[in-house]
Structures are given as structure tokens and as C-alpha cells.
Amino acid sequence: MTVKQETYPPIDGRYVSLLWAEAEAAQEIAAMHAALFDPPWEEDSLRNMLIDPGTSALLARVRLRNVGPAAPAGFAISRTAADEAEILTIGVTAPFQRRGIGRRLAQGLLRAVTTLGAKRLFLEVATDNESALGLYRSLNFEEVGRREGYYKRRDGMMADALTLSCDLNQAP
Ligand SMILES: CC(C)(COP(=O)(O)OP(=O)(O)OC[C@H]1O[C@@H](n2cnc3c(N)ncnc32)[C@H](O)[C@@H]1OP(=O)(O)O)[C@@H](O)C(=O)NCCC(=O)NCCS
């Protein structure tokens, strides 16, 4: 989507929907993923992920007016195994960022993996990803590990990866 952020009116929370993402959503999620991450994930890999029974996936859509189709705005995918879960990816497309959609997606996954029996939720995030770090801190994630030089940027710079964890019994 190439529409500039300033062309969007403020989002009315009543028009934001979180939907379970099934395999049919792979193409839509792949397009959003490619706009946010480098390298992007292949549509087929996403489809395989979405049909895995341990996967929980959410798609956010925003209806900009009372009528017309809702625009895809974000996604979040986690995997649960026994009492541990991991957020594999989460993203909100640029025009819809900083409007509370990322928090809704993350909280939706927290609830989903808790229902599946997870007690702790893990994720990895680059040390220079201020927006994601802000989101995770607001949800009580804590640093439990670090991989030095894990991410290589296009300009050749390296960034550490932090492993964060959240005790789902304490989640807000
Ligand atoms: C990280 C991301 C998912 C956040 O989604 P979002 O919808 O923009 O976030 P929200 O509006 O729900 O913000 C929730 C909190 O995150 C933090 N946050 C979000 N954007 C931020 C920014 N640009 N700078 C600092 N903190 C930010 C704030 O604490 C914010 O709470 P506040 O608005 O009450 O201050 C989004 O920025 C994104 O898709 N980034 C690119 C992909 C990515 O990096 N994914 C994470 C990989 S680990």
C-alpha cells in the first residue's frame, strides 16, 4: 500500500478488526511482511506456518469509512509448544503505525497462547528497534538473553538481538 500516512483520518477503534489468519491469508501477510522486513518471508513459508496446529496468527484490518472494504493493516504470528510460546513475527504497515494496532495484535497473541497452555512467551528483537522495544516493554517483557551481531543491516552495520520473555501469569 503506497498511501501516505497523512491521507488517513484518525482511526476509530470500532473499525479495527482482529481476525484469525488462516492459510488463505498467506498472500496478504506476505505482502505486508515484504514492506516491513528485509529479507521478506516467502508466501509458501507463511502458508505452511499458518496451517501448523501450533501456530496462532492474527490479521488486523481497518475500515476507513463506514462502507467499503477494510484495509489490511497488520499481522502477528506465534508458535506454541508445551508451556512455551514464541512470537515469530509482528508488523503493522507504515500508514497505520503508532495507532495502537501493534499493541492489540500482541495482546491478542498473548491471550491466544495462554489459552493454548503457554506459561512464557519469548521473542527476539534488534537492539536498535525502538518502536518494537517500546511495545514489548509496555507489555512487561524482560530481557533474558542477547546474541551479539545477530542482525546484519543493508549498510553492513550489525545489531545485537535481544531475547525477551514475558511471564503470561503476569501479563497486563
Ligand atoms: C513494532 C510495531 C509492530 C509496533 O506497532 P504499532 O501499531 O506502531 O504500535 P502501537 O501503536 O500499538 O504502540 C504500542 C507502543 O509501542 C511503542 N511504540 C510504537 N511505536 C513507537 C515508536 N515509533 N517509537 C517509540 N515507541 C514506539 C510505544 O510504547 C507505544 O505505546 P504508546 O503509543 O502508548 O506510547 C510497528 O512499529 C512495526 O510494524 N514495525 C516494523 C516491523 C517490526 O519491527 N516488527 C517487530 C519485530 S521484533
Task: Summarize pLDDT for 18-40 with one digit per residue, the tens.
Answer: 999 999 999 999 999 999 999 99
**Which CATH number characterizes residue 70's domain?**
3.40.630.30
Active-site residue (options: 8, 124, 150, 151): 124
Strand 120-126 to 71-81 pairing: unpaired
What is the C-alpha to C-alpha distance for residues 21 and 82, in angstroms, rounded to an integer?
22
Q: What's at 6, amino acid-wise?
A: E
Does some domain include residue 75?
A: yes
Does some domain include residue 102?
A: yes
User: The whole model's pTM is what?
Assistant: 0.93
Does some domain include residue 21?
A: yes
Cβ neighbors of 126 (< 8 A, separation 6 or more) are 132, 150, 151, 159, 160, 161, 162
Does some domain include residue 52?
A: yes
Judge if the beta carbon of residue 131 lies within 6 A of ligand 1. Answer: yes
Does some domain include residue 59?
A: yes
Does some domain include residue 7?
A: no
Q: In what order do the strands lie in the sheet with 55-62?
A: 16-20, 55-62, 71-81, 84-92, 120-126, 158-167, 142-152
Q: Which domain holds residue 42?
A: 12-167
Give the number of domains in the chain.
1
Does some domain include residue 1?
A: no
Does some domain include residue 5?
A: no
Cross-strand pairs, 85: 80, 121
CA 60 to chain centre: 10
Q: What is the pLDDT of residue 1?
A: 40
Q: What is the pLDDT of residue 103?
A: 96
- Residue 2: pLDDT over 70: no
Ligand 1: which atom is nearest the Cα of residue 93? 39
